[in-house]
Structure 1
Amino acid sequence: MAIPPPPGPQQPEGQYPPPNTQGPYQQQPYQQQQFQQPFPQQYQPWGYGYSPQNSPAPVNGLAISALVLGFLCFLPAVGLLLGILALVQIRKKGERGKEMAIGGMVLSSLGLVLALLAVATGGAHDFWDGFKEAANDSGGSTFSLVKGDCFDVPGGSLEGVTYDVDKVPCAGEHQGEVYANFIMSGGSYPGDGAVADTADERCYTLQDAYAMDSWAVPDDVDLYYFTPTRQSWRLGDREITCVFGNTDATAGLTGSLRRDAKTLDADQFIYLSAAQVLNAAMDTEPDTEYVEDDLPGHKQWASRVADALTEQAGRLRDHTFAPDAAAPVTALVKDLESARAEWTKAADAADVDAFYLHYEKGLDLTDPQQTVTAREALGLATDPPTYGGDDGSGDDGGDDTGLEV
Structure 2
Amino acid sequence: MSIPPPPGPHQPDPAQGPSPVPDPYGPPPQGQQPYGQPPQGQPPYGQQPYGQPYGQPYGPPYQTWGQGYSPYSRPASVNGLAVASVVLGVLCCFPGVGLVLGVIALVQIRKKGQSGKALAIAGSVLSSLGLALWVLVLATGGLSDAWEGFKKEAREDSAFSVAKGECFDTPGESLEGRAYDAEKVPCAGEHEGEVFGEFKMAGSTFPGDSAVSGAANDKCYALQDLYAMDTWALPEDVDVYYFAPTRQSWRLGDREVTCVFGNTDETATLTGSLRADETTLDSHQIALLKSLNAMDTVLYEEPEADPEDDLPGYRDWSRDVHDGLGEQIGALRAHSWPAKADKPVAALLKDMEKARGEWAKAVTAAEDGDADTFYIHYGKGYGYVDGPSTVTARKALGLATKRPSYDEDYGDGGGEPGGGELKV
TM exceeding 0.5: yes
Structure-2 separation of matches of 1:209 and 1:300: 27
Rg comparison, structure with higher value: 2
CA contact (8 A) 1:204 1:397 kept: no
Structure-2 separation of matches of 1:116 and 1:83: 19
Q: Give the one of 129, 134, 159 matched to 1:115.
A: 134
CA contact (8 A) 1:79 1:104 kept: yes
Structure-2 separation of matches of 1:328 and 1:119: 60
- 3-state SS of paired residue (1:242): strand
Which position in structure 2 is the counterpart of 1:163?
Answer: 180
- 3-state SS of paired residue (1:161): coil
Q: Does residue 251 of structure 1 match 2:282?
A: no
- Change in Cα spacing, 1:353 to 1:108, as seen in structure 2 (3 Å) is closer
Q: Does residue 12 of structure 1 match 2:21?
A: no
Shift in Å, 1:217: 0.9
CA contact (8 A) 1:342 1:361 kept: yes
For residues 300-319 of structure 1, the aligned pairs below 5 Å read: 300-319=316-335
- Change in Cα spacing, 1:229 to 1:125, as seen in structure 2 (3 Å) is same
- 3-state SS of paired residue (2:198): strand
Structure-1 separation of matches of 2:199 and 2:246: 15
- What amino acid is the match of 1:12? P
Which position in structure 1 is the counterpart of 2:64?
Answer: none
- Change in Cα spacing, 1:102 to 1:274, as seen in structure 2 (3 Å) is same
- What amino acid is the match of 1:374? A
Report how many residues are paired: 352
- 3-state SS of paired residue (2:254): coil
Which position in structure 2 is the counterpart of 1:267?
Answer: 284
CA contact (8 A) 2:322 2:356 kept: yes
Which position in structure 2 is the counterpart of 1:382?
Answer: 401
- Change in Cα spacing, 1:389 to 1:186, as seen in structure 2 (3 Å) is farther
Q: Does residue 361 of structure 1 match 2:357?
A: no
CA contact (8 A) 1:152 1:175 kept: yes
- Change in Cα spacing, 1:294 to 1:72, as seen in structure 2 (3 Å) is closer
Cα deviation, 1:129-183, whole Å, max 9, x if unaligned, reads 4556677889xx8935433232211324101112221222222222112222223
Shift in Å, 1:111: 4.2
Structure-1 separation of matches of 2:352 and 2:230: 19
Structure-1 separation of matches of 2:99 and 2:381: 80
TM-score between the two structures when normalised by the length of structure 1: 0.69
Q: Gaps (5+ residues) in structure 2?
A: 17-74, 411-418
Structure-2 separation of matches of 1:261 and 1:374: 19
Cα deviation, 1:259-306, whole Å, max 9, x if unaligned, reads 2233322211111111122212222333345x5555554444433322
Which position in structure 2 is the counterpart of 1:328?
Answer: 344
Shift in Å, 1:356: 4.2
CA contact (8 A) 2:347 2:389 kept: no
- Identity over the aligned pairs, expressed in percent? 54
Structure-2 separation of matches of 1:249 and 1:275: 32
CA contact (8 A) 1:4 1:17 kept: no
Cα deviation, 1:286-336, whole Å, max 9, x if unaligned, reads 3345x5555554444433322222111111000112333233222221221
Higher relative contact order (CA 8 A, sep 6+): 1
Structure-2 separation of matches of 1:355 and 1:69: 74
Shift in Å, 1:222: 0.8
- What amino acid is the match of 2:398? G
Report the RMSD for the aligned CA atoms in angstroms.
4.5
Shift in Å, 1:246: 0.6
- 3-state SS of paired residue (1:267): helix
Q: Give the one of 237, 249, 255 matched to 1:232.
A: 249
- What amino acid is the match of 2:169? D
Mean Cα deviation higher: 181-190 or 267-276: 181-190
Which position in structure 2 is the counterpart of 1:287?
Answer: 304
CA contact (8 A) 2:174 2:266 kept: yes
Q: Give the one of 241, 263, 269 matched to 2:258.
A: 241
Structure-2 separation of matches of 1:75 and 1:184: 29
CA contact (8 A) 1:135 1:235 kept: no
CA contact (8 A) 1:222 1:244 kept: yes
CA contact (8 A) 2:170 2:183 kept: yes
Q: Gaps (5+ residues) in structure 1?
A: 21-56, 401-405
